Amino acid sequence: MAEKEGAPSTRSAAVLLLALGESEAATVLKHLDAKIVQRLGVEMAQLKSASRDEVSAVISGFVTVMEEQADIKAGSDDYIRKVLINALGDDKASGIIDRILLGRTSKGLDVLKWMEPKTIAETIRMEHPQVLAIVLAYLDTDQAAKVLEFFPDWLQADILMRIATLDGVQPAALGKLDEMIEKQFAGNAGGMAANLGGPKVAAGILNFIDGTGEGKVIAQIRKADDALCQKLQDLMFVFENLLEVDDRGIQEILREVDSAKLVLALKGADQVMLDKFLKNMSQRAAEMLKDDLESRGPVRLAEVEGAQKEILAVARKLADDGKIMLGGGGEAFV
């Protein structure tokens, strides 16, 4: 049976239910027709993964549909926040909620998400660093990191410090972005500050900058504000944090990582980290890894850091997909 025109797809409904979690999904399914429940069940069973962008788009569509209902008018933003926080938890929900609520009137910024990093950098390069910080705080951290690389080191540090100290974005600032990107950004933004930026966002962007560039930016930030620099470093997810990932998580990472990259990454690791990976491999694979490490000659530090960054990117992707948990405390890295 084909989907009705304009109606959400079965996949979208499945993604939304999976995002809500077992209890909330079960409550929703109780109110649906048996045939629809069967279709959704099949779709959820076949759904192997959904990207962060897809989940954001699905929830954003859900929000739009809710707002179009005649009986949901005043206070809908607060209701949406409460529902999503209850379903996803504070950390996981906070970023996506503000992107959704802000994004309803942020057509200019949403356009940027589809542009190449170099094009974005060229589009905004003449703007004040505070405006650059707001734009990059709105983008996904990996995209923001790629855009940041097109700016000089001193400006990268300045932008990241501004992102780390952002405490909401007022409509006046959104008006500046309106003028810059599509001449109609903050039209109905309202009086509530958007919860963009903060140390976590800045640290997340730093995570995606290549090893050499990351070191330069951190050095610049340390010169300007040593305390903030330390805070950002504490929040960054670095290769050594993989020691906190459980064995099942390490095994998931190993399934996604190229063996040559793993050898490079572990050339710069201590014995504890090496043992962490070896114990989660088959005996034959572990022996091959040890042989490769012994036979591999000296490698440049930049190569080691690059390989470690790639493995961290894999780990973050698996965490975003809900397949592993990162960090000590059993919390997913967001």
- Total domain count for the chain? 3
pLDDT of residue 46: 73
- pLDDT at 54 (0 to 100): 79
* Residue 321 and residue 250 share a domain: yes
- pLDDT tens track for 37-78: 767 777 777 776 777 777 778 877 777 776 665 454 444 556
Q: In terms of residue numbers, what domain contains 16?
A: 10-103
Domain-terminating residue out of 103, 130, 147: 103
**Number of other CB atoms surrounding residue 318 within 10 Å:** 21
| Contact by Cβ (8 Å): 164, 134 | no
Same domain, 81 and 131: no
What whole-number percentage of the chain has pLDDT above 70?
70
List own/partner pairs for 149-155 with CB under 8 A and 24 or more apart: 149/117, 149/209, 149/210, 149/213, 150/117, 150/118, 150/121, 150/122, 150/125, 151/121, 151/125, 153/213, 153/216, 153/217, 153/220, 154/220, 155/129
Same domain, 181 and 227: yes
The secondary structure element, H or E, covering residue 235 is helix 226-235
Domain endpoint, select from 103, 136, 159: 103
- pLDDT for the residue numbered 11: 84
How far is Cα 15 from Cα 81, in angstroms, rounded to an integer? 18
Domain edge (last residue) among 103, 135, 165 = 103
Q: Which two tokens stand for residue 313?
A: 């990117």
Q: Give the pLDDT of residue 67.
A: 60
pLDDT above 60 for 319: yes
Res. 235: pLDDT tops 60: yes
Is residue 184 located within the same domain as residue 92?
Answer: no
CA gap 110, 101 in Å, rounded: 12
pLDDT at residue 329 greater than cutoff 50: no
In a domain, 1, yes or no: no
Average pLDDT, integer, range 322-333: 56
pLDDT at 291 over 50: yes
Q: For residues 154 and 71, which has the higher predicted lDDT (pLDDT)? A: 154
CATH of the domain at 291: 1.10.220.30
Using an 8 Å Cβ cutoff, are 221 and 161 in contact?
yes
In 3D space, the residue among 58, 48, 67 whose CA is nearest the CA of residue 19 turns out to be: 58
* Ramachandran area for residue 222 (φ above 0: left; ψ -120 to 50: alpha; else beta): alpha
Give yes or no: residues 80 and 26 share one domain.
Answer: yes
Whether residue 156 sits in one domain with residue 187: yes
